[in-house]
Amino acid sequence: MDRSSRPGKSVFSWRRLLRRNFRFALRQFRKTRRLTARSPGRDFPRAAYTEVHIVLRYIYLILPILYVPFAVYDVIAAFVGWSIDARMVYFDLALYCVLLSMGAMLGGSRANRVSFAALRLQCVLGVGLFSLGGTAATILLFEQAQDLSLFTGVLLAIAVLFRFPDFTKFGIYALNYAILYAFFWSEGVVNPVHVQNPMFVLCIIVLFDRLTYFSMSNSYFKNQRILQLNRLILEEDRNKSEMIGIAIHDLKSPVTGIMSVSTLLRESPDGFTPDERDEILGEVQESSRAILGHIEDLVDIARSGIGGITLNYETFDALELVYGTIQNFNYQASLKDIHVYTRFADGPARIHSDRRSVAGILENLISNAIKYTPPGGSVLLQSRYRRPASITLDVCDEGPGFTAEDRSRLFSRFSRLSARPTGGESSTGIGLFTVYKLAQALDGVEIDLANLNDEAAGTGTRFSVSIPLADSEQASTTESA
C-alpha cells in the first residue's frame, strides 16, 4: 500500500495550496470592495482622527524622554571633537523643541472638544513633523552611514500606527520622498540600491497603509453594528416593560368587577333570584377569564417581547361589550354615588377587532371617568356615527377636564396631569398611555378627546374611540346613509 494513500494522511499538493490562496485573496478582495463601497457616516472621520490624536500624544510624550541620551551623546561628541557633525547638535536642539512644542499642543487640547478642522490640523501637523524628523536625520547621517533604515522605519511606523480615514498620509509620503530624492539628485547619488530600495519600501508602505485603513473600517462597522443591536435591545426592553405595565394595570378592572359582585352577594345573600345569581356568577367568570388573558399576555411578553402578544380579530357587538364593561365598575361607581348612563344611536354596532384590546381601552376610559368625576356626578357612554364605515364610542365625565399643557403629555407614560382624582383614588399615570398603545396596535382604531364645553377646562371631558365596523355592517350603514 502506498504511503501517500493511507487514510488519515494528508498529501501535499501545490495545486490545492494555490487554489486555497487564490480563494483567500478573492475573498479579501471582495471584502475590500464592500468596505470601500460602504459609506462610513459622519462620525467615522472624527473617530479616526481622535484615535490618531491619542497615538500622537503618547509618541510626543515618550520621544523627548527617549531622545535625551542620544542628544547628550551628540553634544558631548561635538565638544570633545569626535567625528560628529556640528549640524547634528543643531538638529537635536531643533528636534527637541519640536517634540516639546507638539507635546504641549497635543496635551493641551482634548480631541472631543475641539472642532473637527482643528483636530485634523493637529493630527496632520504632528504626523508630518514626525516624518520630516526621520527624513532630516537620514539626510544628515547619510554622508557617514549611507543608511536609509531610519527613513523607512519612520514611514512604516506612520503607515501602521496612524490610521487616517482619508488619503492625507499619501501627501506626507510624497513630501518625504520628494525631499529624499531631491537630496539624492543634489548629491549625485546614483547607487541603484539607494534609488530602488526606497521605492520598494514605498510599495510596502502603501500596502500597510491600506491594510490598516480597511482594518479600521471593518472595526468601525462592527462597532456600529454592535451599537445598533444594543439600541434595539434597549428599545425591546423598554417596550417589554411598557407592555408588562399595561398588562398589570389592566388587571385592576376585572379584579374590581369581582370585588363589586362579591360585595353584593355578601351584603344581601338572600336578596337575589336564581337567575340573578347565575348572571352574577357569569360576570365573575368573565372577569376571571379577563384576568387569565392578561396573565397570558405577561407570559407572552416574557417569552418573546412586545411582538409576542397576538391580536385575535373577531366580529362582535361593540355595545354588548360596553354593557359588560360597565358591570365591572358598578361597585367603583357606587362608592362615589356616581350614576353611569348609556345613550346609544340606532344603527349597526358589530365590529371586527380584538375583543380584549377594545375592552382594555373601554375599561381604562370608564375607570378614569369615574375616578375624576366628583361624588354624586354622572358618567355618560354613548355611540354615534361620524363616518359611514365606523362607530364612535364616547365616554363623557363631569371632571375638571384638561388644559393645553395636559394635552401635550396626555398619552405619555407615567405622566401626571393637572386634574386629580376626586375620591382619593391613586393615579399611576399609565391608564391613558395604555389606551394609546392599544389603539396603536389595532387596525383603524382612533382616539380623540375634547372638553365638553368647547375647549375650556373645568367642564368635563369626552374621550372618543372610533372603531371600523365589520364589512357587512359597513354595507348596511352605507345603504341607510
253 burial type by CB count under 10 A (0-12 exposed, 13-18 middle, 19+ buried): buried
Which domains are present in the chain?
Answer: 36-231 (no CATH), 251-310 (no CATH), 311-481 (3.30.565.10)
Give this prediction's pTM.
0.50
Helices (H) and strands (E) in the chain, counts: 15, 7
- The one-letter amino acid code at 420 reads R
- The one-letter amino acid code at 74 reads D
List the one residue out of 298, 293, 291 whose CA is nearest residue 240: 298
Q: What are phi and psi of 383, to 5 degrees?
A: -125, 150
CA distances from 31 to 48, 66, 164 (A): 20, 40, 19
Q: What cell does 32 get? A: 475590500
390-396 β-sheet, strand order: 339-344, 378-384, 390-396, 461-468, 446-451
**Beta-bridge partner residues of 354:** 313
**What is the reported pLDDT for 316?**
92
Task: Identify whether the C-beta of residue 212 lies closer than 8 Å to the C-beta of residue 169.
Answer: no
466 three-state secondary structure: strand
Under-50 pLDDT residues of the chain: 1-5, 304-306, 475-481
Question: Any idea which residue has 493637529 for its cell?
Answer: 122
**What is the reported pLDDT for 388?**
72
Pinpoint the alpha helices (H) of 81-115: 86-107
pLDDT digits (tens, 9 = 90+) for 125-140: 999 999 999 999 888 8
72 burial type by CB count under 10 A (0-12 exposed, 13-18 middle, 19+ buried): exposed
Question: Any idea which residue has 389606551 for its cell?
Answer: 435
- Say which DSSP state 470 is in: P
**What is the reported pLDDT for 1?**
45
**What is the reported pLDDT for 479?**
38
